[in-house]
Amino acid sequence: MIKIAVLQTQNQLKPSMLSQFRKQKVARIFEFYDVNENGQIEFDDIIDICNAFANEFEWEPHSFDDDNFRTTFKNLWLQLLKNADQNADNQVSLKEFLDSYEVAIADDASFQIYIQPFFDMIYPILDEHNIGYIKKEYYMRFYKAFRNSEKAAAKAFVAMDLNEDGLLSKQEFYQNFYNFHMSEDRQDRSLVFFGNVELPTLT
């Protein structure tokens, strides 16, 4: 509850601080969440995302991995509702999503609070044996679970492998995740993090 109060206060105090470019990237994240493409993120989308991950990672229903992912992702969803659903209709519109990201990616401290949890949840799935890097096969599964093609996944792996050693280290994955949210660089390799490079047009 305290977090909501703080968020609302910040929203009221701060005019829009995000560049159009960063807003476009936030809209790309919105597209990732809005699986059924009805312009709202709702609980059904979250279930669809969980199903897509279970399918790509071949988790049996109610196995540890499946249950763990669903529980954690539902918690992320509840967090998103609390922080973004201004009209309390249990859906998050693009406008509400953008407003919440004005705060969530305003600076590094906010990034740590609001955005880092997604990374902390996803990384251990991709590096299940905790070896410090992600195998290409696992990265491909992750990327395809975002409704991207095999070809796009392969291309993204190459882009995100910053030192081009054929492995995606935790540091590289994090750097791309961070830059996607925070960088103003239109050439940054992180641009492919959530899908194809074409960014959505904002009206």
Residue 79 in contact with residue 72, Cβ under 8 Å? no
Counting contacts by CB under 5 A, is residue 99 touching Ca ion? no
Q: Work out the angle between the directed axes of helices 43-56 and 136-144 (0-180°, nearest 10).
A: 150
- Residues 79, 83, 89, 90, Cα dihedral to 10°: -10
- The span of 24-32, 44-52, 54-62, 111-119 binding Ca ion (CB under 5 A) equals 44-52
47 forms part of the interface with Ca ion (CB under 5 A) = no
Spatial separation of the C-alpha atoms in residues 96 and 29, rounded to whole Å = 13
Counting contacts by CB under 5 A, is residue 132 touching Ca ion? Answer: no
Q: Which is nearer to Ca ion, 59 or 169 (CB)?
A: 169
- The region of 22-30, 70-78, 141-149, 154-162 touching Ca ion under the rule CB under 5 A is 154-162
Give the count of residues interacting with Ca ion (CB under 5 A).
13
38 binds Ca ion (CB under 5 A): yes
Which of 85, 99, 102, 127 touches Ca ion by CB under 5 A?
85
Pick one of 8, 11, 36, 171: the residue that binds Ca ion (CB under 5 A): 36
Query: Of the listed pieces 36-44, 101-109, 142-150, 152-160, which binds Ca ion according to CB under 5 A?
Result: 36-44
Which helix (H) or strand (E) is 115 found in, with range?
none
CA pair distance 189, 196, nearest whole angstrom: 12
- Residue ranges in the chain assigned as alpha helix (H): 2-13, 20-33, 43-56, 64-84, 94-104, 108-110, 116-126, 136-144, 150-160, 170-182
Does the footprint of Ca ion cover residue 45 (CB under 5 A)? yes
Which residue number, 113 or 159, has a Cβ lying nearer to Ca ion?
159
- Closer residue to Ca ion in complex, CB, 59/97: 97
- The answer to whether 49 touches 73, Cβ cutoff 8 Å, is yes
Whole-angstrom Cα distance, residue 52 to residue 180? 22
The answer to the question of residue 20 lying near Ca ion (CB under 5 A) is no
Interface contacts to Ca ion, rule CB under 5 A:
34, 36, 38, 40, 45, 85, 87, 89, 91, 161, 163, 165, 167
